[in-house]
Amino acid sequence: MDKESTAKVRASRAYNGTHFQNSPSVIPYDIKVNIVDLLGDQQRVPSGLFPMEVPVVADSVKSGMKATWLGHATVYIEMDGKRILTDPMLSDLAFPIKLIAPKRYDPPPLTVEILPSIDIVTISHDHFDHLDMKTVKILAESGSQFYVGIGLKAVLIEWGISAAQINEMDWWESLTLDEFTIHCTPARHYSGRTGLNNATLWTSWVISSPNHRIYHSGDSGYGDHFQIIGDKLGPIEMGFIKIGDYREELARMARHPHAYRAICSSGHRLKN
């Protein structure tokens, strides 16, 4: 990690001196709960392939907005003249050890090899199902700009990505690219490529263009950050919100839907 990154780590309010942390703190992870679920009788494998339509990628992107879900947290967006990709993971396996790696159920509608040049790539955190080395390396060859949380710059540089293409950000930092503004926003999660060491910062992202504004949650449990992001950076025209197995947090979300809804509602709806 270079001096600039080290300084950002130490200055971050989310860093407690040894690792990054959520505020308020989260319920400790209990692997026993997951084991019980795995031994249950839930249907975990779909009965057949999902219907899929191969999207048409325009030769040039003009005004307007179009979004295509490529699986899990990966979304391809065309917006006001730029191409955006969130959480780049387009490989078949979500772990380097093939024997135990989770395998993609369906192939992605678009492969990274046929994607056009991407202008903006946001990475919410370093877990293998959100950050794939092969995908990132191919994107970097076409000059993509990567927007990452604190600590991920060192990972990408280790993979051979030029530092000039990496924008390392803390929560509530904003950077501009032409007429676009990329906002790094909070999330409630954890990080670690091979262990849950929380050595890198997990994020969500708001991207605004001259005419549109979008939000990508990354992996995030429920919290007041949804409302805060909506208040500070809304209204959001389109939100890409991934919900995992957060149990108690999802129950709270069901009881208090307004904060969750705020992040992907228009301004007049926020007042209702």
Full pLDDT tens readout for the chain, 272 residues: 889 999 999 999 999 999 999 988 766 666 565 666 666 677 767 787 778 888 888 888 888 999 999 988 999 999 999 999 999 999 988 888 777 778 888 888 889 998 999 999 999 999 999 999 999 999 999 999 999 999 999 999 999 999 999 999 999 999 999 999 999 999 999 999 988 899 999 999 999 999 999 999 999 988 899 999 999 999 999 999 976 544 444 444 444 444 434 443 333 222 22
* Distance separating alpha carbons of residues 161 and 148, to the nearest angstrom: 13
Joined together, the tokens standing for residue 31 give 């692997």
Q: What is the CATH number of domain 3-11+62-270?
A: 3.60.15.10
Long-range contacts (CB closer than 8 Å, 24 or more residues apart) made by 3-7: 4/168, 5/150, 5/151, 5/153, 5/154, 5/168
In the chain, domain spans: 3-11+62-270
Nearest CA to 186 out of 147, 231, 220, 212 is that of: 220
* Distance separating alpha carbons of residues 201 and 186, to the nearest angstrom: 9
**Tokens 């339509």 label which residue?**
53
CA dihedral (113, 72, 147, 267) positive or negative: positive
pTM for the structure as a whole: 0.86
Q: Is residue 77 a contact partner of residue 214, using CB atoms and an 8 Å limit? A: yes
Joined together, the tokens standing for residue 151 give 């600590």
* Distance separating alpha carbons of residues 156 and 140, to the nearest angstrom: 10
